[in-house]
A and B are shown apart, each in its own frame.
Chain A
Amino acid sequence: MERPDETISLEAKNFSFWYGSNRALTNIDLTVPARQVTALIGPSGCGKSTFLRSINRMNDLIPNIRYEGDIILDGESVFRADQDVVLLRRKVGMVFQKSNPFPKSIFDNVAYGPRVNRLVDGKRALEDLVEHSLKRAALWEEVKDRLGKSALGLSGGQQQRLCIARALAVNPEVLLMDEPASALDPIATQKIEELVYELKSEYTIVIVTHNMQQAARVSDRTAFFYLGELIEVGNTEDIFTNPKNEQTEAYITGRFG
């Protein structure tokens, strides 16, 4: 599918966020380049997940939230009044920390999104889409003989790749990943990381991680959040070898967090 070739996919402008009276994000300015991996790092509670969930407006599910500033996707505010949240979430896929396959078959897990959103016509096209999505998530070879079996029988790593396939099946532009490998063993983690690396040729990826090595391995750019503020952002190599900010350096060298 052809997409407009833009170098900036996503941009936060002076974005602040509150849970009730609790300020979680303060004046975030961040640009996310298209078809690159941007890692959000920082200690627990620093606001990186809140920021991630603001992009596809998953925070809308929480009562008593408030925000100021804006997040721009493809030149349009995700918060604009006539925003169709359904379309927004199709454009911005999400993978969660805990793999959350639906209590359905492997096939239906991937097919459910396209089916509900009427993305394809006909059984054959749907099967092709499911196969394509599973291949892109590097899961096809492992599950092609048991597509009708329950997704809950898969291992944790397979479940997580199934969730990635599920997100890819609705053909998003941006993929948000909230610590996608934190509950997985090292081998499953490596597979997810390889996958992220491959997927960035087609998708803009924003990944939250607590794992510094992971951020260094998979991302092109890294943003360090602390206490709800964006402390430093830059090329991953620069952030990890030559951080400009003392707090960034303290965090990446493991002195706190």
Chain B
Amino acid sequence: MTTRVETLRSRRSAISTVMLGLTGVAAFVVVVPLLLIFYYLISSGAGALNLDFFLRLPAPVGETGGGMANAFLGTSLLVLYAALMGIPIAVAAGVFLAEERSTLLARLVRFVADVMNGIPSIVVGIFVWAWVVVSMGRFSLLAGSVALAVMLIPMVARTTEEMVRLVPKELREGGRALGFTRWRTTLGIILPAARSGILTGILVALARIAGETAPLLFTAFGNPFWEWRLNEPVSSLPLLIYQYAISPYEDWHRQAWAASLVLICLVLVVSLIARVIIKTPYRGG
């Protein structure tokens, strides 16, 4: 009798060990691409990283040296304007989705947001090209920002909705029991309680759109010079990486690697900040 129990037990623990091992391998496989990417980026791009890279304009075709300063500015402005346009709309829409969760309009908006989250970003680019670029008659920083905002809004709206929904209902009741109106309770109590989660969602979305290339191809278009005006085409890091990578020049390839390294570091830093923020959620009794 004892031996049978013993056999069963060792069989169970053997299966448990194997399964645990398999999940461990799977987890490792998930991390491998990131490690490989970092390895390639550092070995191929770190050499091209110097002060010129951050401070100077791209060198003319055929010359070596130069930098990507205008692309840094361009990406910063694109993300900034996309955030200014997109975040207020997205957060407000997310609050609406959470507050009026089962109305017809909310269900419709939620469905559309989910579809838009799945739309290939190149399609967003084409849409904004037809909508903004064609009507303005030119590629522009504005068009690029609109394209990125279109990417950002459904992402942030859905995370905001989820975060607002996570706020305990007791908190809403606490506000209403003090005689606060619904909007006062939502703006003054619910939103602050969901703040860290919403902020995290925003940062993740910003990191994501900062690296987008396809929506910018026929909107921001690219520009070899300094540009910060809304109605002019601007350079951006992902676009420049794309242009440099498909060029025949060795030096440009190195710079593309370097730019990729910088871009992924930026995304990493933003993600880390988001991680830190999400560790402080609402904690009532």
Contacts and interface: CB of A to CB of B under 8 A. Distances in A.
**What secondary structure prevails in chain A residues at the interface with B?**
helix
Contacts, number: 85
Most chain A C-beta atoms within 10 Å of own C-beta, residue among B172, B177, B193, B283: B177
Contact of B179 (A89, A104, A152): A89
Interface string B184-217: 1000110011010000000000000000000000
Contacts of A87: 179
B181 A98 contact: no
A94 B174 CA distance: 8
B65 interface: no
B54 to A, nearest CB: 39
Given A100-B284, A102-B189, A85 B170 contact: no
A105 to B, nearest CB: 11
Contacts of B168: 98, 100
A122 interface: no
A163 B174 CA distance: 9
Nearest to B282: A103
B170 A96 contact: yes
Interface in A83-125: 85-90, 93-94, 96-104, 112-113, 116-117
Nearest to B178: A113
Nearest to B196: A103
Interface size class on chain B is 20 to 34
Given A98-B170, A103-B195, A170 B283 contact: no
Interface in A128-162: 152, 156, 159-160
A181 to B, nearest CB: 11
Most chain A C-beta atoms within 10 Å of own C-beta, residue among B171, B178, B188, B192: B178
B283 A112 contact: no
Nearest to A156: B285
Contacts of A160: 285
B184 A116 contact: yes
B176 interface: yes
Interface of A: 56, 58, 61, 85-90, 93-94, 96-104, 112-113, 116-117, 152, 156, 159-160, 163, 166-167, 170, 183
Given A85-B179, A113-B179, 9 more contacts: A58-B176, A86-B179, A86-B180, A86-B181, A90-B178, A96-B177, A100-B173, A116-B179, A166-B174
Interface of B: 168, 170-181, 184, 188-189, 192-193, 195, 282-285
